[in-house]
Structure 1
Amino acid sequence: MGLKDDLERYRDVGEERRQDLAEFIQYGDLGQSRGDSVRIPIKIVDLPEFEYDQRDQGGVGQGEGAEEGDPVGQPQPQPGDDDGDEDGEPGEEGGEHEYYEMDPEEFAEELDEQLGLDLEPKGKKVIEEKEGDFTDITRTGPSSTLDFERLFKKGLKRKLAMDFDEDYVREALKVEGWGPATVYEWARERNIPVSKAWIDDAYDDLPSDEKAVWDSIEEMEDNVEKVETSQRIRREGVDQIPFRREDERYRYPEIVEEREKNVVVVNIRDVSGSMRQKKRELVERTFTPLDWYLTGKYDNAEFVYIAHDADAWEVERDEFFGIRSGGGTRISSAYELAAEILEEEYPWSEWNRYVFAAGDSENSSNDTEEKVIPLMKQIPANLHAYVETQPSGNAINATHAEEVERNFRDADNVAVAYVSSPEDVVDAIYDILSTEDQ
């Protein structure tokens, strides 16, 4: 095994030591990551490499700056030598860590695999219209786009429908006592597509001595074989195809709309006085992976962050998880602001929408039933979700999540999740994302 093989083996070992994705979501340091790069800790595995001895500074018997023949002094202590350094003892420092970096696309793929999800993003906003294949048909157009194959097939179909065995019909005109009218009726009974004018002309062209060759039509049919059109065409080919102007069709390219898979995610958080640190941390641990996941799934992802107590206001992501106010709680204020922002900036016809809210389920009296639920019904979205964070269990007046769940029990675009500890986070994420998947 060579050095190159060793390097590959060491890299594989390092990747295997990466923190499990579910464990990272539940307990990892999410703050080390950015929106475009998820950093998951791994234990360092030092790759083998050549290293020069720090004490080897010159030629044989010659130190740095020494003249030839000068005595060589004692080697000076080097960093890492066991020199009795009092600043620390071996093993005193914490274990080193590096990070396995994955982009949101890889994060979404791994989360799909780990949780068994299969979310298929939808294209919404038309970003380009372009000409596709020449599959559409019109009655007019330049001669270069004439669909000759279609025209030929139409003509050939007409030829087959109009064709008949002319010799066979002429033999019927040779039956004694039969004239053009009688032959025409006989031909119609046998579905022979011959016109009265053709029969008249053919009868006139017959010599007088050939107008009584057969004593009866039965004798003629017994002695003359009718040749089918398909047989005759295979044997003789086609001399003429009856094209008509109304058969002409011209090809033109199909107009293909290229749609961008874009999404806007509205994150709503209760920042009232009851939302203490543990509750805020559970919101961050749930919402952050959701943001990464949807960023990885869609071509273009934008995020709106709304904080609320009794009133609501839009904030930057950096502020979102840390804000805490001393006010009361009116969740409907956040949905009113979300509806306004979505209507003005992210029309439903052009954007996929996710509206995620989180808090401890405490809300002002009747606000959930009278305002929040009607607003959720009025805001079109791929998915609405509410995440209740109650580390110590449900409070007596924490009923918002239960009311939402009860009202939307049969809805296929509303999810409610309960998170009381980091162990619940992955299940909550699955409950939310699998609701749209279903």
Structure 2
Amino acid sequence: MGLRDDLDRYRKVGEERRDDLAEFIQYGDLGQSRRDEIRIPIKIVELPEFEYDRRDLGGVGQGDADEGDAVGRPQQGDGDEDGEPGEGEGEHGYYEMDPEEFAEELEQEFELQLEPKGKAVVEEKEGDMTDVVRSGPRSTLDLERMFKRGLRRKLASQFDPEYVREALRVDGMDPEDVYGWARRDSINVSKRWLEETYAEMDAEEWARWSSLEEMEENVDRRTPAQLVRADSRVPFRSEDERYRFPEVVEEHESKVVVVNIRDVSGSMGSEKRELVERTFTPLDWYLQGKYEEAEFVYIAHDIDAWEVDRGEFFGIQSGGGTKISSAYELAAEILEERYPWSDWNRYVFTAGDGENSSNDSKERVVPLIEGMDANLHAYVETQPSGGSVNATHSQELTDAFDGDEVVVTQVNARDEVMDAVYTVLKTAAEPTEEV
């Protein structure tokens, strides 16, 4: 085993010692990660280093190193000449994963799987020759289908003329009587044929059999298959022609927009803001990993609402009151202008401490949610210090919706974050009716 194999083995051990995914989401430093790269700390494993042999104390090229010093290890950091600490970032161990891997691991953690829906048509192409049309190039004529249609028609119209002719020789039977008998016996013979055949017969032939029973006992009836073998010609008609045509296959791109809404009023302190970040961030990473294209919208609100970037979203705080409907009004405008429902999957996640202006939840928020098409609406309530008598928004949402359209969950401590993420994703992964 060479040095490279050793290093690979140590690196693998390090990766296995990285933080558990749930531990990282609930307690880890999320700020070290970016939208497209999740960095999970690794419990450091010291890699082997070279040291000077105590017996190698002299010789050409002898340096100033002491016994036991590691080869190539600098004796001074990146500080100044007086030994003061430098400003450079220290070496940390991280396991890096992209959103796709994060989504896979989170699904394994929860034993869930969301199937992204492709909505926007990006390409139409020809598939297999499975469609059939009545006209087309001769090279695409479906000979097998045409033969089967002609054969079915021949079998349906085929009858044994000798057998039917014998029925005309039954005493007292005329063409009308034989026609009725043939129909009852599923013999597909025309009345005209019977009349012409009867007219061609000699009078002495009309009473050969005393009854139909006698005739049927003494005359064998050939089956349609025997008749076809006797005459294998299959008559074709122009209406039998069918031409193969390629199926048109639409390629859909799975695109998603995630609208994150957060209450930034004075009651949303740092602990609440952190719990919102720990809940929303893995949801963002997960959906980005599941869809081919993902975009994110961040809306902050107190009494009014405004769009912010992600860096501001989790840290901003105002001293104003709370009017949640202002955020939904802005979200509806943004979705309508930028992300039409026909092309985009939509997720709308909202967080706050459950407090809202009087009657705003019932009179404004509920109707706005009902009129906003989305794969899922979710509301995350956080009350680390206990419930508030004014925190009625969650209950009003629960009363208005049955849980499939809007999922409501609570996060009051770090160890509840994974339960909240699971609740949202479980609802998102459940099959829904196509719109």
Which of the five TM-score ranges fits, normalised by the shorter chain? 0.7 to 0.9
Larger radius of gyration: 1
Within a 5 Å distance, the mapping from 1:420-431 to structure 2 comes to 420-431=412-423
Letter in 2 for 1:304: V
- What SS does structure 1 have at the residue aligned with 2:153? helix
Cα separation, 2, equivalents of 1:330 and 1:27: 31
Cα gap change, 1:32 to 1:400, in 2 (>3 Å) = same
Cα separation, 2, equivalents of 1:114 and 1:191: 66
| Structure 2 counterpart of 1:101, from 96, 101, 111 | 96
Cα separation, 2, equivalents of 1:191 and 1:344: 67
Shift of 1:437: 3.1
Residue 346 (structure 1) aligns with:
339
Q: Does 1:391 align with 2:384?
A: yes
Q: Does 1:158 align with 2:148?
A: no
Residue 131 (structure 1) aligns with:
126
Shift of 1:153: 1.4
Q: Does 1:272 align with 2:272?
A: no
Moved over 6 A (4+): 1-5, 54-58, 85-88, 176-179
Residue 335 (structure 1) aligns with:
328
Letter in 2 for 1:32: Q
Residue 87 (structure 2) aligns with:
none
Letter in 1 for 2:156: A
Cα separation, 2, equivalents of 1:193 and 1:127: 54
Cα gap change, 1:349 to 1:55, in 2 (>3 Å) = farther
Cα separation, 2, equivalents of 1:177 and 1:277: 108
Shift of 1:24: 0.3
Residue 111 (structure 1) aligns with:
106
Residue 211 (structure 1) aligns with:
205
Cα separation, 2, equivalents of 1:3 and 1:401: 59
Residue 290 (structure 1) aligns with:
283
Residue 256 (structure 1) aligns with:
249
215-224 vs 149-158, greater mean Cα deviation: 215-224
Residue 16 (structure 1) aligns with:
16
Contact conserved, 2:134 with 2:241, CA < 8 A, in 1? yes
Contact conserved, 1:57 with 1:63, CA < 8 A, in 2? no
What is the TM-score when the length of structure 2 is the normalising length? 0.84
Residue 417 (structure 1) aligns with:
409
Shift of 1:39: 1.1
Residue 224 (structure 1) aligns with:
219
Q: Does 1:244 align with 2:274?
A: no
Contact conserved, 1:413 with 1:436, CA < 8 A, in 2? no
Cα gap change, 1:288 to 1:199, in 2 (>3 Å) = same
Contact conserved, 1:55 with 1:75, CA < 8 A, in 2? no
Shift of 1:40: 1.0
Gaps spanning 5+ residues in structure 1: where?
Answer: 65-73, 89-94
Shift of 1:406: 3.0
Q: Does 1:144 align with 2:139?
A: yes
Cα gap change, 1:227 to 1:279, in 2 (>3 Å) = same
Residue 355 (structure 1) aligns with:
348
- What SS does structure 2 have at the residue aligned with 1:227? coil
Cα gap change, 1:77 to 1:151, in 2 (>3 Å) = same
Could you report, residue by residue, the CA deviation over 1:168-209 in whole angstroms, capped at 9, with x for unpaired residues? 234445557766566555544533222344345545666x59
Letter in 1 for 2:141: L
Cα separation, 2, equivalents of 1:186 and 1:405: 73
Letter in 1 for 2:220: E
Letter in 2 for 1:394: G
Cα separation, 2, equivalents of 1:301 and 1:172: 79
Cα separation, 1, equivalents of 2:390 and 2:184: 90
Cα separation, 2, equivalents of 1:369 and 1:251: 58
- Root-mean-square deviation (CA, aligned residues, Å) is 3.3
Residue 25 (structure 2) aligns with:
25
Cα separation, 1, equivalents of 2:269 and 2:285: 25
Contact conserved, 2:322 with 2:355, CA < 8 A, in 1? yes
Percent identity over the alignment is 64
374-383 vs 242-251, greater mean Cα deviation: 242-251
Shift of 1:31: 1.0
Contact conserved, 1:43 with 1:96, CA < 8 A, in 2? no
Shift of 1:311: 1.3
Cα separation, 2, equivalents of 1:332 and 1:253: 50
Residue 164 (structure 2) aligns with:
169
| Structure 1 counterpart of 2:424, from 400, 418, 432 | 432
Letter in 1 for 2:414: P
Shift of 1:252: 1.9
Residue 61 (structure 1) aligns with:
59
Gaps spanning 5+ residues in structure 2: where?
Answer: 78-82, 84-89, 431-435
Residue 37 (structure 2) aligns with:
37
Aligned residues between the structures: 414
What is the TM-score when the length of structure 1 is the normalising length? 0.83
Could you report, residue by residue, the CA deviation over 1:204-245 in whole angstroms, capped at 9, with x for unpaired residues? 666x598379353554433221121123435x3x43212222
Shift of 1:141: 2.5
- What SS does structure 1 have at the residue aligned with 2:221? coil
Contact conserved, 1:272 with 1:329, CA < 8 A, in 2? yes
Could you report, residue by residue, the CA deviation over 1:120-172 in whole angstroms, capped at 9, with x for unpaired residues? 22222222222222222332323223332222111111111111112223444
Could you report, residue by residue, the CA deviation over 1:262-320 in whole angstroms, capped at 9, with x for unpaired residues? 11100111222222222211111111111001111112111001111221111111221
Cα separation, 2, equivalents of 1:428 and 1:119: 16
